[in-house]
Structure 1
Amino acid sequence: MPSIVLAARAALLASLVSLAACAASAPRDPPPADTPLLLVSIDSFRASYLDLGLTPNLQRIADQGVRAQWINPSYPTQTFPNHYTLVTGLRPDHHGVIHNMMRDPELGRFRVNDPAAIGEERWWNGGEPIWIGAQNAGLRGATMLWPGGEAPNHGQHASRRRAFDPKISEMARVEQVLKWLDEPAATRPHVTALYFDSLDKQSHDYGPNSAQARAAMQRIDTALGRLIDTLAARGELDRTNLIVVSDHGMAEVAPEHRIAVEDMVTVQEAVVTSTGQSIGIAPNKGYEAQVERRLLGKHDHYECWRKGELPARWQYGTHPRIPPIVCQMQEGWDAIEREVLAKARPGQTRGSHGYDPALPSMRAIFIARGPAFRQGATIPAFDNVDVYPLLARLLGIVPAKNDGDIAPLLPALKAQAAESAEATEKK
């Protein structure tokens, strides 16, 4: 009899431990089933742009919700690595999308203008994007042109998706998202990721301070005005958690601030795996020592390191896709193939990103409004890996393994503010 009692007590104790573990790992404050989450990215929208007075609808979102001083992007400050970081919470060094241009021994070459590479899931399987995590939890996800959104992840696509097409206007992108959000509850996505690229394109071509870049900024803002006004007319705006981010900022590049990568290292000596601002170099067999002597250390407009010796604050240099040597250009300088340089318009100021994430020009935006967020609050800067834990919390799902920390974003949330006030009163 005593042995039976002891066994029963042991079983009860094991059950309680199991329940406690589940409670500890479960997300807090799961949202109502009818609270959509909408994540919007404006590629290359520098944090300081919000203060230019050109984007009244973005300002309206900030005034009605929360604004961060800025987001610190991950290294390298490129579009594809940082967009995948935002939705996985992993550094590029961990999710494997290590640059806009990269090579893999099995997969070959990756470029952002290669649809076949972009749609190949093995480039993306190093992280679990939020829409896949949501679907694994029984919810539905949608991606509208989001970098990485058109590729499957371990065989699974978002339930609603549109592949990237620069010809789709800003307004047409918003209209498609509004159609998805107008579907019946049985099919409507719980989380939608919407991407705008025109500011990035115009900033690259004409510079971040150009009339063309400002016009793109205003077109995007007008489209966002259509989004929030339509949601408000439907009675859905105040039950939608809306977050607007960017991947990085943009710096101005003077016409003469460009060098040819062939002047850094010859094709006989090495393969250049990426160009632009973060330059990847893989020495050819037999040329390793020669290339290191030529490149390592500081130069007039760039500095080079072995991959394992990059600045620790960049948290970059362990992934197999990162080549043996990485050179980082100084702000406002590009390294491009000589053939491409020959086609450049003489005297044309351009824009570039890909520089040190600590530079003010690389700072990204974060604003948010909705039932989960406080109103009229400004929070300190945080790293972009921290966005993913927030997304998971808002969806009420257990986050996948990630490098982020939700703590910097808790002051943005109404529930956290209420808990803090209650704790203060008790003291």
Structure 2
Amino acid sequence: MKFLFRLLASSLLLVVAGCAQAPVPRAAMPASHVPLLLISIDGYRHDYLDRGLSPTLAALAKDGVRADGMQPSFPSLTFPNHYTLVTGLRPDHHGIVHNTMEDPALGHFALKDRAAVSDGRWWAEATPLWETADRAGLKTATMFWPGTEADIHGMHPDHWRPYDGGVTPDQRVDRVLAWLDLPAGQRPTFLTLYFDAVDHAGHDHGPDSAQVNQALRDTDEALGRLIAGLRRRGLLDRMNLIVLADHGMADVPVGHTVVLDDLLPLDRVDRVTTGVLAGFNPKAGHEADFAAIEARMEQPQQHMQCWDKTRVPARLAYGRNPRVPQLLCLADVGWTITTRHYLARHPNDHMRGEHGYDNADPHMQALFVAHGPAFERGVRHAVFPNVDVYPLMAHLLGVTPAANDGDYDAVKDMLVPAAR
């Protein structure tokens, strides 16, 4: 079905500027003519918006839809959840099960390993939305998003950039605006934009720090630059924006560290990951010992809980993918898991904020704000799982979604009736 959305531009500008304004009815517009911009503010916890430091984002929320929180998929980590958002699959199903992982055929994967990150085989267990949109004849553009550097199923987005942390927020915004200035045959209909300063500040200084507050201000200023650019182009009332986060952030006090050396024989296991979610596989030649190691670790532990991957609680929907390590240990919120060797080598390397915890914890809940001709105005939506974003976006773009774990019916009430 096609829709035509129209809004009085002067009224929307006043609302976005923060002025009081009576709602203006929205009418339908062909879905294929309405661009969708998906914006991630990495690590923007759902309640950060209440600090009063993000006026541009607050204005969009006031004139659109704001969720009370969006629950990340487990584990509440960056790469798994960014890929969930654009595939609608939980990490256990799309294969990006952690920021660090191992595959028997592909070897080792880590965030900073550019060769692995750009290898499409790691991402090929799912179909990202930019691929679906491209195959449907839409143009796509991604200003940084996990997976976009890889040749997935033989495809990249039409316009994309390899991740470069040195590219400023303003430069990222300007690139998106430049893509929207392209001629009609090249202009993207689905775009992504990624900001990471809030996450970095949260890790380095903690979620309640002055540095996080400054990162919120700086990111909102870049968002304001985007809104101003869209307004100048007459696009602000003619495209849909979804602004969200991959996860929240929790404070980690100094000394809140579980030391693995005191709990299991590290010389008999292959340590795949540590941090908030630690993972271990049997070391070659010690497979027979592993069951006893697991039995001991699955007993009650201080400040963490461990499971064999087949016994992970069902609500976490995790453990069936072959890339998930055999033994998993999840730290309690506010704690991390490491080794004595790491502590000795990095005595000052303490993260004051972390994520990756139980995805039901309030500190892990992420931001969700949506604005545009398809969305209701002034609506607060209940907390919902982030897998539902994918079918919502596929609907907005008018493309047939790939198989996914989301539920469009759970979020369609965010939309004006004509757009549902």
TM-score (norm 2): 0.90
Please tell me whether the aligned partners of residues 30 and 393 of structure 1 are also in contact (alpha carbons under 8 angstroms): no
> Equivalent of 2:388, from 379, 386, 389?
386
Aligned to 2:254: 255
Aligned to 2:204: 205
Distance in 1 between the 2:261 and 2:115 partners? 28
1:248-287 aligned within 5 A: 248-284=247-283, 285-287=287-289
Aligned to 2:92: 93
**Alpha-carbon distance, 1:30 to partner:** 8.6
1:181 is the counterpart of 2:180: yes
Distance in 1 between the 2:261 and 2:78 partners? 24
Please tell me whether the aligned partners of residues 283 and 291 of structure 1 are also in contact (alpha carbons under 8 angstroms): no
Cα shift readout 1:267-300 (whole Å, capped 9, x = no counterpart): 3211111111111111222321231133113201
Aligned to 1:117: 116
Residues 238/30 of structure 1: CA separation in 2 closer, same or farther (3 Å cut): closer
Report the identity percentage: 48
Letter in 1 for 2:49: L
Distance in 1 between the 2:351 and 2:126 partners? 37
Secondary structure in structure 2 of the residue aligned to 1:195: strand
Letter in 1 for 2:83: Y
Letter in 2 for 1:359: D
1:99-110 aligned within 5 A: 99-110=98-109
Aligned to 1:164: 163
Higher mean alpha-carbon deviation, 104-113 vs 194-203, is at 194-203
Distance in 1 between the 2:185 and 2:261 partners? 56
Aligned to 2:23: none
**Alpha-carbon distance, 1:31 to partner:** 3.8
**Alpha-carbon distance, 1:371 to partner:** 0.8
Please tell me whether the aligned partners of residues 65 and 375 of structure 1 are also in contact (alpha carbons under 8 angstroms): yes
Cα shift readout 1:298-328 (whole Å, capped 9, x = no counterpart): 2011111111111111011111111111111
Residues 30/382 of structure 1: CA separation in 2 closer, same or farther (3 Å cut): farther
Aligned length: 391
Please tell me whether the aligned partners of residues 143 and 172 of structure 2 are also in contact (alpha carbons under 8 angstroms): yes
Please tell me whether the aligned partners of residues 120 and 151 of structure 2 are also in contact (alpha carbons under 8 angstroms): yes
Secondary structure in structure 1 of the residue aligned to 2:127: coil
Cα shift readout 1:52-79 (whole Å, capped 9, x = no counterpart): 1010011011011111111111000000
Secondary structure in structure 1 of the residue aligned to 2:337: strand
Please tell me whether the aligned partners of residues 255 and 347 of structure 1 are also in contact (alpha carbons under 8 angstroms): no
Residues 215/343 of structure 1: CA separation in 2 closer, same or farther (3 Å cut): farther
Letter in 2 for 1:213: V
Instruction: Give RMSD over aligned pairs.
Output: 1.7
Distance in 1 between the 2:224 and 2:264 partners? 48
Distance in 1 between the 2:200 and 2:386 partners? 22
Please tell me whether the aligned partners of residues 206 and 348 of structure 1 are also in contact (alpha carbons under 8 angstroms): no
Cα shift readout 1:179-221 (whole Å, capped 9, x = no counterpart): 1111111101110111111111111111111111111111111
Note the residue ranges of structure 1 that are not aligned, 5 or more in a row. 1-22, 24-28, 420-427
Please tell me whether the aligned partners of residues 55 and 218 of structure 1 are also in contact (alpha carbons under 8 angstroms): yes
Distance in 2 between the 1:318 and 1:31 partners? 41
1:23-422 aligned within 5 A: 31-284=30-283, 285-344=287-346, 346=348, 350-415=352-417
